[in-house]
Amino acid sequence: MAHNALTPVACHTLEEIKEVIKPFMRGGNNINISCNMDGQLINAVSSDSSPRTVLLNGLDIIKKRMEMKDKLSELGDHETNLRAWDVDDLHFSIDGIIAKRLGGTRKGLRIRWKIRNGTYEYDPYTNKLYEVEDK
């Protein structure tokens, strides 16, 4: 499936879903950089910016918000509107990447596609694709 960077992806089959998640299933590597400046050896490590790492970094923000909602709920903080902490009702920057690059939507920490023959969810943390009941 060819992808134009300006055109959002649309998935209509399970095979298309599997194809678009491939780049998000494998991470890149950090790169060690060394240089000699004025007789001083300087070492640095670049951070991985693979599609998978970008996706997981975005989902980690959502995950932390979900954990905070759970903590507030456990504390019985009735002054806090817990609905304001519901991640499925909020839009995060990673949601745009999920829609444009994967042609799906986010449900919690999973990416979801509704296609003709069913509803599928991809869990980026486990790298697994599941067929789920449409809710």
Tell me the per-residue pLDDT of 47-73, one tens digit each, with 9 for 90 and over: 667 888 889 999 999 999 999 888 888
Query: What integer pLDDT is reported at residue 9 of this predicted model?
Result: 81
Residue 3: Cβ within 10 Å count: 14
Query: What integer pLDDT is reported at residue 109 of this predicted model?
Result: 97
Q: How many Å is the Cα radius of gyration of the chain?
A: 19
As a whole number of angstroms, the distance between CA 83 and CA 128 comes to 29
Q: How many CA atoms lie within 13 A of 119 on its CB side?
A: 11
pLDDT tens-digit readout, 26-44 = 776 666 777 877 777 877 7
Could you give the 3-state DSSP secondary structure of residue 93?
A: helix
Nearest to 123 by CA among 135, 107, 134: 107
Nearest to 119 by CA among 101, 105, 99, 108: 105
Of the chain, the percentage scoring pLDDT greater than 70 comes to 86
Query: What integer pLDDT is reported at residue 78 of this predicted model?
Result: 64
Q: Taking the model in full, what pTM does it have? A: 0.75
Query: What integer pLDDT is reported at residue 48 of this predicted model?
Result: 65
Cβ-contact 72, 82 below 8 angstroms: yes
Arithmetic mean of pLDDT over the chain: 84
Residue 5 binned pLDDT confidence (cut-offs 50, 70, 90): low
